[in-house]
A and B are shown apart, each in its own frame.
Chain A
């Protein structure tokens, strides 16, 4: 009963440092990433936002004078056309990816665990080789004097080479090719997560194969579909090199527009304003995604 707090207990109080080292460990883990993200993501993007309201001097210097003219230019008629076209290409690429990826992922998800692992690994393997080199392979194959046209002409199937790249179709092909796996992975994950019992339960309750697909499988894989669509659509708007390589430079994505402002026109404020639009569009899609019960972790491509 009698508390004998005497000299014997002194060392115990010394170990207060235990809580100090605990704090040290905690911040040692949290600070590097926090500071890095602050300095190289948050501040740069804030700066882009600020720039979008600034003026420029003639040679591209930024003049810290508030203006809304950049946004006026953002919404100028000819830019709107590019957005429309860019969003169009992005949307078509997304839909094409979805139409290919969904059945593909579904059929793989139906396989055994070993086959699944192997097939999904095979989906990722091509991405280990350089995207541009792979993209250029399509040019090699599909240009007017490419492998396909040459072969077809040799065989007498066609007499005039088909125009398959250096046009909008070429851009879509490039986008689909590079981004398909980002559609496949989240869809596969969401399908693979579906409890097989649910499918049996539906079957038990009289659902046919199509009804199961329509009523159970598709609704339950919606987060994956949405994640895939985001992971294809948003980057496609920015992939300027795809339209450069595959489109012959005549079609422009929003990414090309931004790149132009930064790399050639030296109009950083305008480029920033367009970027801000792109950021806003991304945020809107993300909010929708989360509202629909999407899991952000699905966006990492894992």
Chain B
């Protein structure tokens, strides 16, 4: 018994260390967002000023705005196209299905640079100007596969006969979809959308190649600043963004855990 406690201690220590590794940089971001000094070396004093300043920084704000525009539109498009695609691919056989299935993995596995330059090349060939539009096309492209994957993993858990049951009970195919399949898919769709949004707002490489002068996103803005040194303003806005997203995730996690607990009690 004591031996196993010993073992548990070492196991938990390793888990703890890995989490320290993962979270240390985040701690740095947060701490230095309150630092009076701009230099990010020593903590000179506590201040909120960067939080105020960042909202007056036109560049950062416009980059954030671009990021959100691209993130929201790409997520919406990718979610719709990906969800429909996942359902269609599960339900039907059609020529080229096997190929489409493989193609969907390409954006996931090939290095992002390759997709980035491929899109840049095709835009250049087709005369599509680099802009928010071109950026959205690119983001939708790499988000779709993740939506398909999450929705599909949810779909396999959904009994196919449910839709048939609905048809059997007099629902038209559209009603069956809206009344039965969609409500059941919602968690998968939401997590696919969440995944897409997270990917989109953090993308550096593909955006790097497909962005235009008026569509600099937050990550690209940061990339441009990295060499000079990231200012506490960036730390401040990053802290705020994290706060928003973490609250979302935590709410979801609490929901999941309580669901787990409920089902365990059964």
A contact set with B: CB distance below 8 Å: 21-22, 25-26, 28-30, 32-34, 36-37, 40-45, 47-48, 51, 100, 103-104, 107-108, 110, 113-114, 117-119, 121-138, 140-141, 145-147, 150, 177, 180-181, 230-231, 234-235, 237-241, 244-245, 254-255, 258-259, 262-263, 268, 271-272, 275, 278-279, 282, 286, 296-297, 299-302
List 7 interface pairs A-B (beta carbons < 8 Å), by A numbering.
A34-B100, A128-B249, A130-B241, A135-B226, A146-B41, A258-B114, A271-B117
Collect the chain A residues with CB atoms within 8 Å of residue B264's CB: 113
Collect the chain A residues with CB atoms within 8 Å of residue B153's CB: 297, 302
Collect the chain B residues with CB atoms within 8 Å of residue A146's CB: 41
Interface range on chain B: under 10, 10 to 19, 20 to 34, or 35 or more? 35 or more
In Å, the complex CA distance between A121 and B141 comes to: 26
CB nearest neighbor in A for B138: A40
Min distance, Cβ B201 to any Cβ of chain A, angstroms: 8
Interface contact B253-A137, CB-CB below 8 Å = no
Q: Which of A32, A117, A122 contacts B81 (CB 8 A)?
A: A32
CB interface residues, B 228-243, toward A, < 8 Å: 230, 234-235, 238, 241-242
Q: Which of B23, B96, B109, B122 contacts A44 (CB 8 A)?
A: B122
Interface contact B257-A241, CB-CB below 8 Å = no
Q: Which of A32, A40, A113 contacts B260 (CB 8 A)?
A: A113
CB interface residues, B 167-219, toward A, < 8 Å: 173-174, 198, 202, 204-205, 208-209, 218-219
In the complex, B160 has a CB within 8 A of chain A = no
Interface contact B249-A121, CB-CB below 8 Å = yes
In Å, the complex CA distance between A150 and B40 comes to: 12
B contact set with A: CB distance below 8 Å: 11-12, 14-15, 18-19, 21-26, 28-29, 32, 40-42, 80-82, 84-85, 87-89, 91-92, 94, 96, 100, 103-115, 117-122, 125, 137-138, 140-141, 144-146, 148-150, 152-153, 173-174, 198, 202, 204-205, 208-209, 218-219, 222-223, 226, 230, 234-235, 238, 241-242, 245-246, 249, 253, 256-257, 260-261, 264
Collect the chain B residues with CB atoms within 8 Å of residue A244's CB: 226
Interface contact B18-A133, CB-CB below 8 Å = no
Given A40-B119, A147-B28: A29 touches B104 (CB 8 Å cut-off):
no
Collect the chain A residues with CB atoms within 8 Å of residue B122's CB: 40, 43-44, 47
Interface contact A268-B149, CB-CB below 8 Å = no
Interface contact A241-B205, CB-CB below 8 Å = yes
Q: Which of B19, B42, B174, B238 contacts A130 (CB 8 A)?
A: B238
In Å, the complex CA distance between A122 and B23 comes to: 9
Closest 10 CB pairs of A and B: A238-B111, A29-B88, A33-B85, A137-B25, A44-B118, A137-B28, A300-B149, A238-B113, A44-B122, A30-B88
Interface contact A26-B88, CB-CB below 8 Å = yes
Given A30-B92, A125-B249, A234-B109: A132 touches B223 (CB 8 Å cut-off):
yes
CB nearest neighbor in B for A282: B110
Given A107-B11, A132-B204: A147 touches B41 (CB 8 Å cut-off):
yes
Interface contact A45-B149, CB-CB below 8 Å = no
Interface contact B117-A275, CB-CB below 8 Å = yes
In Å, the complex CA distance between A278 and B253 comes to: 38
In Å, the complex CA distance between A124 and B219 comes to: 19
Collect the chain B residues with CB atoms within 8 Å of residue A301's CB: 146
Min distance, Cβ A141 to any Cβ of chain B, angstroms: 6
Min distance, Cβ B171 to any Cβ of chain A, angstroms: 13
